[in-house]
Amino acid sequence: MHHTPLPVTGRVTGRGETVASQALELVQYRSLIRNLVAKDLKVRYKNSALGFLWSLLNPLLMMVVFTFVFTQLLNQHIAAFPVFVLTALLPWNWTATAVTAGTASLVDNAPLINKVYFPRILLPMSVVLSTMVNYVLALPALFLMMAIFGRPFTPWIVEIPLIVLIQAIFVTAVVLILAPLNVYFRDTTVLVEVGLLAWFFMTPIFYPVEAVVPHLAAWMYRLNPMAAIVEDYRVILYNGAVPDPLFTGRTGATALVLLAIGWLVFTRLSRNLGENL
């Protein structure tokens, strides 16, 4: 009768105090991660007639709008503008949806948190993962545009999974800080909305980084990891070149440091969730 391997056992005090014990718990709850991601995707695609097509169509429509505004209204000359903007828009959409949904993830699941114990960190994490799946599934649309506009497919494409990993780490870090903050200050959601808009303009999505005043561009990379991540995608997929390994390495290191900070913040702030939700 007692064959279940999961030992939800031991002391309540002192739980989850070390990185190792938390990591072990995450391994034990891996089926919950999978199910939460599957639930997110299922629910997202269930209620609209076009379902999954929307996650392809939405960025493509945005691409059309940006292309019209910048090449027709503003008369900018950037070769293959649709590909140029889409290489940045797709990863940006991932970040934006993950940050929005991730910030709300604890508050939205308040009834569950108050009734069942499970590692709370899985809620924001599963949001990052499900939005990542969504992003990866939208990449074929980008490849299609690259083929249509004759952009080169170079072997450097194999580096894309690494950039996706760096972005996933970075987005997780951001969400781990914002989700518990939203429990204590419910208007975090509103500030995040405004913040995302500012962040969108501060990231070279619809303009090339070369258009930024040079000494500010350096600061943009330092203060905004998304700018560096977007630039890596663009170098590989739009320029067909290899990103500077040092540049990518710095971005990755920044993401890891932020993840450590995010984990600390989350562990500290989420201790009394049951009381504050």
Partner 1 sequence: MRAGHRRDRMPQPGHPQDDAAVEFRGVSRRFRLHHETRTSFQDWFIALVRPRGKAEEFWALRDVSFVVRRGEALGIVGRNGAGKSTLLKLVSRVLEPTSGDVLIHGRTHAMLELGAGFHPELSGRDNVYLNGSIYGFSRRQMGERFDRIVQFAELERFIDTPVKHYSSGMFMRLGFAIAVHMDPEILVVDEVLAVGDAAFQRKGYEALMDLRARGTTVLFVSHSVEQIRDFCDRAILLQEGRIVDSGPAAEVVDHYLRTMQEQAGEIAILRVRAIDRSGLPLDAVASGADLGLEVLLRVPPGGSTGDLALGLDLHDRAGTHLFGSTAQLPADLPAFDDLDPGTRRVRSVVRGLPLAGGTLTIAATLQRGALGTTEPLDRQETQVDVVGRWTGRERGILRLDHDWEWETEADPSATGPHLEHR
Binding site for partner 1 (CB under 8 A): 1-2, 4, 6-15, 17, 28-29, 31-32, 34-36, 39, 42-43, 46-47, 110-118, 184-187, 189-191, 271-272, 274-276
**What's the closest the beta carbon of residue 199 comes to partner 1, in angstroms?**
19
Q: Considering beta carbons, is residue 60 or 125 the nearer one to partner 1? A: 125
Contact of 147 with 234, CB cutoff 8 Å: no
Cα–Cα–Cα angle for 103, 108, 113, rounded to 5 degrees? 105
**What's the closest the beta carbon of residue 96 comes to partner 1, in angstroms?**
19
Pick from 16, 11, 9, 23: which is nearest to 271 by CA? Answer: 16
Torsion region of 240: left, alpha or beta (phi above 0 gives left; psi -120 to 50 gives alpha): left
**What's the closest the beta carbon of residue 99 comes to partner 1, in angstroms?**
17
**What's the closest the beta carbon of residue 270 comes to partner 1, in angstroms?**
11
Q: Considering beta carbons, is residue 43 or 137 the nearer one to partner 1? A: 43
**What's the closest the beta carbon of residue 16 comes to partner 1, in angstroms?**
10
The whole-angstrom separation of Cα 163 and Cα 251 is: 9
Cα–Cα–Cα angle for 142, 145, 150, rounded to 5 degrees? 125
**What's the closest the beta carbon of residue 204 comes to partner 1, in angstroms?**
29
Pick from 117, 116, 113: which is nearest to 104 by CA? Answer: 113
First to last CA, the chain: 36
**What's the closest the beta carbon of residue 192 comes to partner 1, in angstroms?**
12
Task: Report the chain's C-alpha Rg in angstroms.
Answer: 20
The whole-angstrom separation of Cα 121 and Cα 176 is: 8
Q: Considering beta carbons, is residue 17 or 244 the nearer one to partner 1? A: 17
Q: Considering beta carbons, is residue 117 or 201 the nearer one to partner 1? A: 117
Virtual torsion, Cα 112, 117, 120, 124, nearest 10 deg: -40
Q: Considering beta carbons, is residue 10 or 245 the nearer one to partner 1? A: 10
Virtual torsion, Cα 32, 33, 36, 41, nearest 10 deg: -140
